[in-house]
Structure 1
Amino acid sequence: MPEPSLPLRKLGFLTIGLFDGADPAPGHESTLRVIELGEQLGFDSAWVRHRHLQYGISSPVAILAAATQRTRRIELGTAVIPLGWENPLRLAEDLATVDLLSGGRLNPGLSVGPPMRWDDVREALYPDTADAEDFTYERVERLLRMVRGEAVSPFRGTEGIEEFSDRVQPHSAGLASRLWYGGASLRSAQWAGEHGMNFLTSSVVKAEESEDFAEIQQSHIRRFREHHPDGPAARVSQGLVVIPTDSASREQVATYEAYAASRLARTATPQGPARMMFAPDLVGTSEQIAERLYAHAGFREVDEVAFALPFSFTHDDYVQILTDIATHLGPALGWSPAG
């Protein structure tokens, strides 16, 4: 197994938080228990996906608010909040509130663009302003300014017995440095760098200059750092689906391999008009996965990751996968558990 040029510094995981639409509470409780387990295993961060009108977490900020009260150390992130569904001022209030509740552990990941299935939801989401809504990077810039404490109102002072602020309250001073942009293109990587954000790169990228996933991801990371004030020190987190089988049962291994095989065809060539490339899911022993990661051009550019848990598995499967990541794969990558 090749030696890493730099030990993995931060190890995190990402979950979609699936639930049964007829009985959604157990799925949400499972997500919170998974986050608690992550802290117990020494993971540095736990991230939740964001899904609207699906059977996954629609309100990650609320989930993470609950997680702040059940954990003490682990960082809590979103990957990612699609801002097309959000009012930036209201979101800035919620993010700052949860960051304070967590003691400064929140890592909000963001993205822009029209909401998914825009034609189906526009009337419900923006019945009066759909044609005027701005889904460009400006929506992120608005949020950045608000989180950083810039004025959002011309009035500050007392009216009657009520006192008003001209900036978003509460203000969490360190939050702005922990904002991430989830990008899948060279343009988004450069924009995130120019605006001093951290950069999330996942198992989905746009094929622009290559059709090799690892090469594409590497080019995005390098473009981001070329345009970031911190240069090579700018933070990047890579997210791939990894499924270690060190302690898995034969039945679990069969399930995992079938899952990965069912998704493999989409990784061979760019998909759809946007030419999106998907990374293969990595299934095998921790030693086998580590070898593949060390050979991955994107992985060799980072020292922190947020490995994605696969969709639609059981709670016990996630316990096994997370335990193997923390006790076998992480150490194979030079990582040491926190706490």
Structure 2
Amino acid sequence: MPHPTRPLRKLGFLTIGLFDPADPAAGHESTLRIIELGERLGFDSAWLRHRHLQFGISSPVAVMAAASQRTSRIELGTAVTPLGWENPLRLAEDLATVDLLAGGRINPGVSVGEPMHYDTVKHELYPDSGEQEDFSYGRVERFAHLVAGEPVREFSGRQGVVEEFSNRVEPHSPGLRGRLWYGAGSTASAVWAGANGFNLLSSSVVFPGEDQDPDFALVQQSQIRAFREAAAASGHSRARVSQGLVVIPTDSATPAQREKYQRYVDERTPRTTAPQGPRGMMFARDLIGSSEQIAGQLYAHAGFQEVDEVAFALPFSFDHEDYVQILTDIAGKLGPALGWTPAEAGKPAS
């Protein structure tokens, strides 16, 4: 068993919150129960994917609000919210509200770019401004300024007998700006995130540069290093980086679960063998096996070697009992094999 150069400091998990369209309430309840389980197992964070017009969580802010009232310690985040679907001012209001309700535990992860399949939805999303919407970094910069409490307008003060107006987004949650994350897949976006005061979410998808060796782990490593250099140069030397790979420990899995998990991995493996599409998108291999085997693979992974916190992604299409088994093995076996110590019940994440 290889020895870590440093212990894993923070351990989290990421879920899509899959649900049956015939019974969506049950799927959302399952997600909340999984987050509650994560807190009991000592996980430091739980992250929600953001899906629109699909059978996954479309409103992670609402789910985080519910989870915040059923937990007391675990951090809650989004990985990621695509800002092309959002009004930055309204999103800033919602996130600040939930952060205050959660006692400062919210970690919003965002990205920019044109919404997926934009031509099929822009007539409903932006019926009057679809061709003029700005999906560039300017959108996330505006969002960050609003979260930080910078002025929205000059007008403020009392109007009439009881109406009181502010010139910034209200409510304001003072620490939230420092907990904004950016989901970057390219070196350019990682550098931008570091230079602009964001933390970095590095997932199981990367876009290599033209002259880079098409090795996922090396590409991810170089992006993380570029982020840290940019962050340090901009005075953000304490910026955080989280890696999000799919890991499936099978220590306590039943034979039927192991067979199911292996089929899932086998179906997804071909896409990892070569860059995909015009931009050369690269996918990380899913890691499956005993916790000892997975820990060995992670220690050999150039991207993992750069981080001290992770948010392991749960497979999309598994059942509730599968997630219980996987999370229990991650917290009880894989995490400790990586040097991680479970958080104490009732103690806020540091």
Give the drift of 1:232: 5.9
Q: Secondary structure, in 3 states, of the residue corresponding to 1:47?
A: strand
TM-score norm. by structure 1 comes to 0.99
Please say if 1:48 is aligned against 2:48: yes
- Matched residue type, 1:128: D
Please say if 1:203 is aligned against 2:208: no
CA–CA distance in structure 2, aligned partners of residues 166 and 232 of structure 1: 31
Equivalent of 1:309 in 308, 314, 317: 314
Aligned to 1:262: 267
Aligned to 1:224: 227
Aligned to 2:216: 213
TM-score norm. by structure 2 comes to 0.96
CA–CA distance in structure 1, aligned partners of residues 273 and 237 of structure 2: 31
CA–CA distance in structure 2, aligned partners of residues 231 and 64 of structure 1: 27
Alignment of 1:97-246 (within 5 A): 97-160=97-160, 161-208=162-209, 209-229=212-232, 233-246=238-251
- Matched residue type, 2:258: V
Q: Secondary structure, in 3 states, of the residue corresponding to 1:234?
A: coil
- Superposition CA RMSD, Å: 0.8
CA–CA distance in structure 1, aligned partners of residues 224 and 50 of structure 2: 23
Give the drift of 1:312: 0.6
Any unmatched runs of 5+ in structure 1? none
Aligned to 1:59: 59
After superposing on structure 2, the runs of 4+ consecutive aligned residues of structure 1 that deviate more than 2 Å are: 229-234
CA–CA distance in structure 2, aligned partners of residues 335 and 231 of structure 1: 25
Any unmatched runs of 5+ in structure 2? 345-350
Superposed CA offset, 1:54-95 (max 9, x none): 000000000000000000000000000000000000000000
Please say if 1:21 is aligned against 2:21: yes
CA–CA distance in structure 1, aligned partners of residues 74 and 60 of structure 2: 16
CA–CA distance in structure 2, aligned partners of residues 74 and 304 of structure 1: 14
Give the drift of 1:231: 6.3
Q: Secondary structure, in 3 states, of the residue corresponding to 1:77?
A: strand
Give the drift of 1:273: 1.0
Q: 2:21 touches 2:55 (CA, 8 Å); kept in 1?
A: yes
Give the drift of 1:20: 0.7
Q: Which moved more, 1:9-18 or 1:200-209?
A: 200-209
- Matched residue type, 1:189: A
Q: Secondary structure, in 3 states, of the residue corresponding to 2:150?
A: coil
Give the drift of 1:153: 1.4
Q: 2:187 touches 2:208 (CA, 8 Å); kept in 1?
A: no
Give the drift of 1:154: 1.6
- Matched residue type, 2:175: G
Aligned to 2:290: 285
CA–CA distance in structure 2, aligned partners of residues 3 and 52 of structure 1: 42
- Matched residue type, 1:206: F
Q: 2:197 touches 2:236 (CA, 8 Å); kept in 1?
A: no
Give the drift of 1:23: 1.1
CA–CA distance in structure 2, aligned partners of residues 69 and 319 of structure 1: 21
Superposed CA offset, 1:151-188 (max 9, x none): 00120111112000000000000000000000000010
CA–CA distance in structure 1, aligned partners of residues 39 and 128 of structure 2: 44
CA–CA distance in structure 2, aligned partners of residues 207 and 278 of structure 1: 11
Give the drift of 1:196: 1.1
Q: Secondary structure, in 3 states, of the residue corresponding to 1:43?
A: coil
CA–CA distance in structure 1, aligned partners of residues 137 and 62 of structure 2: 25
Give the drift of 1:233: 4.0
- Matched residue type, 1:194: A
Superposed CA offset, 1:18-41 (max 9, x none): 001111000000000000000000
CA–CA distance in structure 1, aligned partners of residues 213 and 87 of structure 2: 36
